[in-house]
Amino acid sequence: MNPRLEVSGLTTTFGGGDSTVRAVRGVSLSVDAGATLVLLGESGSGKSVSARSILRLYGESAHITGTVRLEGRDLLTAEESEMRQIRGRTIGMVPQDPTAALDPLRSIGSQISEVLRVHRMTQSRKETRQRCVELLGLVGIPDPVRVMRSRPHELSGGMRQRVAIAIAVSCEPDLLIADEPTTALDVTVQAQVLELFVELQQRMGMSLLMVTHDVGVAEELDGDVAVMYAGVVVESGLAREILTEPRHPYTAGLLASLPSPAVRRGQLTVIPGRPPLTGEVGTGCAFAQRCGDVQPQCRTAEPELVPVLPGRQAACPVVNETALREKELSA
């Protein structure tokens, strides 16, 4: 069975000449039907650009290459008119900041109705209204009829994000892309909203592509994880395996710098240095400047993401060699 979303060799470049920004440099990932993939990484690693490139949200301002297949259809070569149908209907998008995404002057009801109308999901005003009430109920909003008449500023941040989620799932999309949807919320509300994603996903059978810098979110969603660094995926596999036993030196460094049940506050170690700016990435592994395991071979070519364990991939020849040795010893 083919994955529902299959991204291969995705590169996204902004600008040109001296000001060229190579934000995403060959990202490959896949999400099965009903499955979850968390794109995890520090600020500037290319998570949002990857997610937005899948939806072709940059128009002419970015040069995008590679392939993005949704149920086999290549989105990068699709007509813009088809993409307008796909955005919102086949792929739903939940923004980081619902305040910016919602129109402050219009009622919640009219904003949800508009999406249903544009994508011809309902046939009559009565049906549209019923569906709005149903959707608001589905995302856990008490008193949906009152909320439909409200404007965004009359709701709390958590409620606004629930409305944004209702809009994103209104057409029962095959894939939901959420870019840091809980970052702007209080910690307790964050947990509730995350639970809502899981609930909706199970109910609707959607695939979920979640963008986050928060390891806790990846842990909570308990699906697959792709760890990004400087525009590439450096490690991918199951969250529960990667987060307990990372293989790539960057993933290991990232986890060692965060408190977790395994690493107590007094034992935290920070990765030295900082991630390279997009213009500073040269030949070889982008993590080489900061890596404690660096070898001469690391600087000659960009490491490819290859299988290192069953269900696990890492872009590091040193990890790969270790995996091969372990395999030989156990054979």
Please report, as ranges, the residues that interact with ligand SF4 according to CB under 6 A: 249-250, 285, 287-288, 291, 293-295, 298, 303, 316-318
Q: How far apart are alpha carbons 174 and 4 in whole angstroms?
A: 8
Q: Which is nearer to Mg ion, 12 or 48 (CB)?
A: 48
Residues 253/240, Cβ–Cβ less than 8 Å: no
Q: Which of 46, 152, 173, 275 is close enough to bind ligand ATP by CB under 6 A? A: 46
Query: In this complex, which beta carbon is closest to ligand ATP, that of residue 196 or of residue 227?
Result: 227
Judged by beta carbon, residue 101 or residue 171, the one nearer ligand ATP is 101
Q: Are 118 and 167 in contact (CB under 8 A)?
A: no
Question: Of residues 8-37, which lie at the interface with ligand ATP (CB under 6 A)?
Answer: 14, 21, 23
Minimal distance, residue 286 CB to ligand SF4, in Å = 8
| Alpha carbons 70 and 54: distance in angstroms, whole number | 10
The one of Mg ion, ligand SF4, ligand ATP, none whose footprint includes residue 49, by CB under 5 to 8 A per kind, is ligand ATP
Q: Which string of x and - marks every residue 189-228 that binds ligand ATP (by CB under 6 A)? A: ------------------------x---------------
Residues of span 35-54 touching Mg ion by CB under 5 A: 48
Size of the site for ligand ATP (CB under 6 A): 13
How far apart CA 326 and CA 331 sit, in angstroms, is 9
Task: Compute the least distance from the CB of residue 184 to Mg ion, in Å.
Answer: 12
Q: What whole-number distance in Å separates Cα of residue 223 and Cα of residue 3?
A: 15
Q: Which does 218 bind (CB under 5 to 8 A by kind): ligand SF4, ligand ATP, Mg ion, none?
A: none
Q: Min. distance of Cβ 115 from Mg ion in angstroms?
A: 23
Nearer to ligand ATP, 44 or 152 (CB): 44
Nearest CA to 178 out of 149, 204, 227, 212 is that of 212
Q: What is the DSSP letter of 106?
A: S
Nearer to ligand ATP, 24 or 139 (CB): 24
Q: Are 94 and 168 in contact (CB under 8 A)?
A: yes
- What is the per-residue burial (b if ≥16 Cβ within 10 Å, else e) of 100-132? ebbeeeebbbebbbebbeebebbeeeeebbebb
Q: How many CA atoms lie within 13 A of 198 on its CB side?
A: 13
Among the listed residues 11, 13, 30, 45, the single contact to ligand ATP using CB under 6 A:
45
Between CA 225 and CA 15 the distance in angstroms is 30
Residues that bind ligand ATP (CB under 6 A): 14, 21, 23, 41, 43-49, 213, 278
**What are the residues binding Mg ion (CB under 5 A)?**
48
